[in-house]
Amino acid sequence: MMEGSAYARLTERFRRRALIGDALGILDWDQATTMPEGSADGRAEQIATLSVIRHELMVAPGVGESIGQAEVDLGDASPDDWRLGNLREMKRAHLLAAAVPSDLVAATARANAACEVRWRSARAENDFAGLLPALREVLNLIQQTAAARAEALSLAPYDALLEEYEAGTRMVTLDPLFDRLATHLPDVLLRIIERQNAQPAPVRPEGPFDIAAQRDLAAELMQALGFDFDRGRLDVSHHPFCGGATGDVRITTRYNEDDFTESLMGVLHETGHALYEAGLPDNWRFQPVGAALGMAIHESQSLLVEMQVSRSRPFLSFALPRMQASFGGRGPAWDVDNLYRLYTRVEPGFIRVDADEVTYPLHIILRYRLERAMLSGDLDLADLPGAWNDTMSELVGITPPEDRLGCLQDIHWPSGSFGYFPTYTLGAMAAAQFFSAAKRAMPGIEADIAAGRLAPLLSWLRTNVHGQASRHTADALLTRATGEPLNPDIFLDHLEARYLGDG
């Protein structure tokens, strides 16, 4: 396009927006890892100010008109033209931003930052009552945001929140899908547990496991998967995450000296996110079309690395000698078959991030139901601990003995992320579908993984997922890569094969 055209002006505006987002990403990472708690008020103001500047870039006079003119200018473009995808994402970002006034954006950013800091101590102290006032303020502001976006987009309030994380996803699609899982998975769970109980229990390697050794092992496996430490970091936080900025991907984990597998699997999960971010196309850096395609596809990349690859026999065959060297492991506990049974052990537990892939969707359905009820006002926040425990008992068959193992465990609601949780299970389904397609395309991929040759898989992902960024919709991306849109049967077949078949 000619310099000075409507589209060219938009690309410059969105470049600035992306750079502000990068700055916010580093501030968020610092807040979670190294910032002194006494700096929380100042950090909240910094985040709020940058959030408003970013928001105002989207709602400035003339942005909507520029988008309309760019649509006319690009009217003859090919359907696969990257610029059309970029304009589609620009329009979506503008509509989402224009629906919310700047003062609400600022207030929400302040409340989220303050509540996230308060959550850290509340979780450690098992103090839901202490978190309640700050969480109430966050929820109130999220309800206002949802109502504003719902009116502007002609959507239900919860659908308007979903739109921020996964474009086009609606409750009308999620409800039957999640109801099917909630009905189907408990029976599968019982069958798997019966099968496990008929076999000798896996032997858990005994600690303590030196934290420095855990970190070194994680870094070695991250590099084997393709992580570039010249453009990324591994640090410690209260809740594992992947963040940072373009070209500067930050992973965090938390360590347990009694069980190195908790941290390792968390790191490998976040590595999947990091590989996606690192594989986005340089030619479209700082443009909406060059960003990751929603959180379901993002979660598919983390769960593909963690669940599909890292918990497989081939990968454990490759990783075992490195585990033994890191911790001096010897004996029956350090046998590949034993570790495979340990890493694929299905057992209802309280903590979502430690859950196996059979019970994990049930953890998500619990959160989906509760956050919808909170948003609508059907569930008062003061009643959240009891509602959590009742729903956990209904879905998973266990009841948390304390809130830190229940409604206090996740950072998402304190940080204002309502509507995010469903993408985890959508991502798990997409992960199974992507990996199934990769195995069809490369029949020797599992032998490559066992030999530590992980580059072919990463290359396939770079071509079919990472490098496509937001060029297509999620269903179109899945169809191009796998031959069909999201199909939950592939995920359910994977569970049957791994846990009730030959693995």
Instruction: Provide mean pLDDT across the span 420-432.
Output: 97
Tell me whether residue 52 is in a domain: yes
The pLDDT score that the predictor gives to residue 501 is 87
The pLDDT score that the predictor gives to residue 451 is 96
Question: Does the structure show a pLDDT above 90 at 79?
Answer: no
Tell me whether residue 78 is in a domain: yes
The pLDDT score that the predictor gives to residue 2 is 59
Instruction: Provide mean pLDDT across the span 100-119.
Output: 94
Tell me whether residue 202 is in a domain: no
**pTM to 2 decimals?**
0.93
Question: Does the structure show a pLDDT above 80 at 503?
Answer: no
Strand duo 241-245 + 248-253: pairing: antiparallel
Question: Does the structure show a pLDDT above 90 at 3?
Answer: no
Is 371 marked active-site?
no
pLDDT tens per residue, range 190-205: 999 999 999 989 999 9
Tell me whether residue 483 is in a domain: no
Q: Are 270 and 456 in contact (CB under 8 A)?
A: no
What's the CA gap between 280 and 462, in Å, rounded?
8
| Residue 124 domain boundaries | 6-168
Instruction: Provide mean pLDDT across the span 477-493.
Output: 97
Tell me whether residue 103 is in a domain: yes
Burial group, residue 427, by CB count within 10 angstroms (0-12, 13-18, 19+): buried
Query: Average per-residue pLDDT in the chain?
Result: 95
Tell me whether residue 40 is in a domain: yes
Q: What percent of the chain has pLDDT over 70?
A: 99
Instruction: Provide mean pLDDT across the span 136-141.
Output: 98
Instruction: Provide mean pLDDT across the span 150-169.
Output: 96
H or E segment and range at residue 79? none
pLDDT tens per residue, range 241-269: 999 999 999 999 999 999 999 999 999 99
Q: Are 450 and 315 in contact (CB under 8 A)?
A: yes
Tell me whether residue 142 is in a domain: yes
**Active-site residue (options: 116, 270, 277, 306):** 270
State in Å, rounded, how far the first CA of the chain is from the last one.
53
pLDDT tens per residue, range 358-376: 999 999 999 999 999 999 9
pLDDT tens per residue, range 19-58: 999 999 999 999 999 999 899 999 999 999 999 999 999 9
CA distances (Å), 82 to each of 9, 279, 470, in order?
Answer: 17, 17, 9
Residue where the block lists tokens 């969105």: 14
> What is the number of domains present in the chain?
1
The pLDDT score that the predictor gives to residue 280 is 97
- Band (pLDDT 50/70/90 cuts) for residue 353 is confident
Question: Does the structure show a pLDDT above 70 at 85?
Answer: yes
What letter does residue 420 receive in the DSSP assignment? -
Instruction: Provide mean pLDDT across the span 121-140.
Output: 97
Question: Does the structure show a pLDDT above 80 at 4?
Answer: no
- Band (pLDDT 50/70/90 cuts) for residue 239 is confident
Question: Does the structure show a pLDDT above 80 at 502?
Answer: no
Question: Does the structure show a pLDDT above 90 at 238?
Answer: no
Instruction: Provide mean pLDDT across the span 79-94.
Output: 93
Tell me whether residue 341 is in a domain: no
Total number of residues shown for the chain: 503
